[in-house]
């Protein structure tokens, strides 16, 4: 299976972002996070609101409506959990990558720890 199909399967019933790999996913999550901060960064901010306002693209609006209301924090957490499961040990390479924002690194670390994915020993990462 591909990264995209694995992400779609894991995210169900939430809509998966339309991305072709981790690089695009990081860009998408930056877009979501920036739009959320611009909207005030409130805990109860809904992804559907950002999509409807045109602040976030790459999520099927109809699929999002069918999935119910989900906050930005819950959606980003779900994406981080799925990505961590898909990448397994390779998630640590993305945690260490300079393109990964601190807030995303924190979410990925939390998910890796929750899923019992051990951090590689120093000098063994392939970022």
Per-residue pLDDT of the chain (127 residues; tens, 9 = 90+): 799 999 999 998 888 888 889 999 999 999 889 889 988 989 888 888 887 777 777 777 777 766 668 888 899 999 999 999 999 989 999 999 999 999 999 999 999 999 999 998 765 555 4
- Nearest of 43, 17, 44 to residue 30 by alpha carbon: 17
Are the C-beta atoms of residues 89 and 97 closer than 8 Å to each other?
no
d(CA 8, CA 37): 26
Q: What is the pTM of this model?
A: 0.82
Report the candidate in 102, 94, 78, 120 with the shortest Cα–Cα distance to residue 21: 94
Cβ 32 vs Cβ 64: under 8 Å = no
Report residue 27 as tokens: 């860009």
20 phi/psi in degrees, rounded to 5: -115, 60
């Amino acid at each position: 299976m591909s990264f995209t199909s694995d992400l779609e399967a894991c995210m169900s019933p939430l809509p998966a972002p339309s991305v072709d790999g981790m690089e695009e996913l990081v860009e998408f999550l930056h877009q979501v996070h920036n739009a959320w901060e611009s909207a005030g960064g409130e805990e109860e901010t809904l992804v559907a609101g950002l999509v409807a306002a045109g602040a976030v693209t790459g999520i099927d609006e109809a699929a999002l409506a069918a999935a119910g209301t989900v906050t930005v924090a819950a959606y980003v957490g779900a994406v981080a959990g799925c990505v961590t499961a898909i990448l397994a040990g390779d998630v640590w390479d993305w945690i260490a990558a300079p393109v990964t924002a601190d807030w995303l690194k924190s979410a990925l670390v939390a998910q890796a720890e929750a899923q019992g994915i051990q951090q590689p020993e120093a000098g063994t990462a392939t970022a």
